[in-house]
Amino acid sequence: MAKTTKSTGSSAGTATIHDQKLTRGAGGELHQTAAGKTPVLTTAQGGPVSDDQNSLKIGPRGPTLLEDFHFREKIFHFDHERIPERVVHARGYAAHGYFENYKPLSKYTKADLFQRAGEKTPAFVRFSTVAGSKGSVDLARDVRGFAVKLYTQEGNWDIVGNNIPVFFIQDAIKFPDLIHAVKEEPDCAFPQAQSAHDNFWDFISLTPESMHMVMWVMSDRAIPRSFRFMEGFGVHTFRLVNSKNESTFVKFHWKPKLGLQSVVWNEAVKINGADPDFHRRDLWTAIKSGNFPEWELRLQLFDQKFADEFEFDVLDPTKIIPEELLPPVPVGRLVLDRMPDNFFSETEQVAFMTQNVPPGIDFSNDPLLQGRNFSYLDTQLKRLGSPNFTHIPINAPKCPFAHFQQDGHMAMRNPVGRANYQPNSFGEGARESTQRGFTPFADVEQGAKRRLRAESFADHYSQARQFFISQTMGEQAHVAAALTFELSKVKIPAIRERMVSHLLNVDETLAKKVADKLGLQKMPKPADAAVPPRQDLDPSPALSIVDNGPERFEGRKLGILVTDGCDAGLLKTLKSALDKASATYEIIAPKVAGVEASDGSWVEADQMIDGGPSVLYDAVALLPAKDAMEDLLQESCARDFVADAFTHCKFIGYVESALPLLAKSGVAAGDLDEGCIVIGSTKSARSFVDGLGKLRIWSREPRVKLA
């Protein structure tokens, strides 16, 4: 079970709470002074709090209770902290589409949308970052929200997930603390959309249950190349319930048709400078051009016997069920084919809530899910200003609906007739239906009413280690580099040391590498572990992005650098090959108007070199004419275009006349590898495009020292 710990501050100084004076040392530690003792945490009404780490439950694995006034107050206040943007997931982008069911799933669920093969259900999907404000950048290192609203014939179903299948905390009562810690520090209001600061790592280093999530967030999963190239997860364990009231546990996975892809950190930083709307623009452009993004919904289905025998608790949101152990079953596809008509009315006003489920979908006792079910209604009331937020078209169900809710701010409709209550003797209005209505699975709960953390939740390191050893060598180096960078921004040495002590329980080599890069004078002892970390968990290949990347260039973009006199035939061949590969391209030229090709034709440019750096493309082709090289070599942005592409391990196609530019950019003849390909003929141009599916030449990475 996680230990209860006292938080420490982020700077030296004093703080006065009522009549009790506290002094913070240089290391952030909290000292009791003569003015009084360390204060007792209270509610806003002044009531002392006995446990701020766990919500009130029936038994250690039971449901969260409505009477938990401390949790209710804490979440209530947190949900109302922002005016008018979302407290979390403020920066989002969304699209319309549909979900198409492959085959009936009546064996598992009575949910209407799963009863008929080929059934298409309207969908609205919002992607987002978590920590930043609406005006932050797209490529922040962060979790990505992946929220799906399905307008089923039995009401709206919201699968409100992320691109990472686990979370930082096990109990929703800690969510305000987590977000307070990761947001900009309250005294200085920075850093924006970054976790690289004292408050976040102070909280994390005192919260061992976060270690699995930390591995994911410090991996390349937190800097995806595009919304179109990332997975989505429902995070929690849910239930499917069939018409016989039989329950099957389920975890939801969205798998991108185009495969997984991320960027590297150096690239992300430069993308944010070149185009802070990179992810938004990518989704907009793909859909507007008819390249509709698609994901496959896959379900991990299991029964109570599997749950009882699984080595971790399926109710623990900091754990996964490895796909090799329980392969996800494909059940349908999600296609996004239309952008909103207006960003504010749809993307900004859409309201997702985990408690929105149709009959046949039900909840588990996951304490994080239980708290989310309780919290989200508060959030919508504050953000959208009225209990009538369901009257907004994007939130309204597309099936028939009837209820007696009336009036309130911005009411667009009210019950019609005399009776606005139930029961009534006038025969007016709707009636409940025991046959069609939502009926929760009749699970039996027992146990004392207490604030507890289940002992089965106590292993905080084993799956963190499993994730790390499942990465390729290069991906492991990226995790180490990310941890080093983030912790280098932490000013308090004690916090850095605490984090390294946790890393020793994950992987000793990782811990030593981070400690060395941070310049720790001596290695700390491994952090106390409630359960000894396991060393016997097998790697899960499904957890690696590189091992699950695409084998084709479909959906990607080639940046083609041209000058006056560029070979018109090669350019035409490249364009044709890219069209055949269902890929796109942009023309980058010294002037945005374009260039005159070798055959006298005019080639319009999409970007001038200054505004089209290579970080915006998945691969590049260099087609300068020999006569234009003298001027091009003087362009620093042209040299950066080539140097960055090489450093970021991208494929580079080039004509012989581009060799001086490669050399001037720091890529000597001896540096040219299998990812640097001469395209001197139409045949080699087609071959170049055919070979772009691997996206990166990771064998180059040790030489360019990305991490």
Q: State the Cα angle at 592 between 587 and 593, rounded to 5°.
A: 100
Measured distance CA(478)–CA(169) in Å, rounded: 24
How far is residue 622 CA from its own chain's centroid? 34
Structure tokens at 498: 């605490």
Handedness of CA 290, 579, 562, 618 (dihedral sign): positive
The SS3 of residue 602 is: strand
Select which of 162, 356, 373, 388 is catalytic. 162
If you count them, how many residues does the chain have?
A: 707
Would you call 89 a catalytic residue per the annotation? yes
Report whether the peptide linkage leading into residue 327 is cis, meaning its omega lies within 30 degrees of zero: no
In 3D space, the residue among 496, 138, 95 whose CA is nearest the CA of residue 294 turns out to be: 95
Output b/e per residue, 148-164; b: 16+ Cβ within 10 A: bbbbbebbbbbbbbbbb
Q: Phi and psi for 595 in degrees, rounded to 5?
A: -140, 165
Which residue type, as a one-letter code, is found at position 163? N
Would you call 505 a catalytic residue per the annotation? no
In 3D space, the residue among 458, 450, 148, 176 whose CA is nearest the CA of residue 318 turns out to be: 458
- The label of the residue with tokens 């495969």 reads 259
Q: Phi and psi for 657 in degrees, rounded to 5?
A: -65, -15
Measured distance CA(501)–CA(411) in Å, rounded: 55
Report whether the peptide linkage leading into residue 256 is cis, meaning its omega lies within 30 degrees of zero: no
Measured distance CA(326)–CA(323) in Å, rounded: 5
Select which of 54, 70, 89, 197 is catalytic. 89
In 3D space, the residue among 14, 53, 328, 296 whose CA is nearest the CA of residue 170 turns out to be: 53
User: To 10 degrees, the CA torsion angle through 352, 357, 361, 367?
Assistant: 60
User: For 670, what's the count of Cα atoms within 13 Å in the CB-facing half-sphere?
Assistant: 1
Count each helix (H run) and each strand (E run) in the chain, helices first. 18, 23
Instruction: Tell me the CA end-to-end span of the chain in Å, nearest whole number.
Output: 35
Beta bridge mates, 361? 240
Helix, strand, coil % over all residues of the chain, rounded to 5: 35, 20, 50
Neighbours of 694 (CB within 10 A): 16
In 3D space, the residue among 379, 409, 387, 392 whose CA is nearest the CA of residue 83 turns out to be: 379
Cα–Cα separations (whole angstroms), residue 518 to 28, 69, 94, 490? 19, 43, 40, 10
Residues identified as active-site: 89, 162
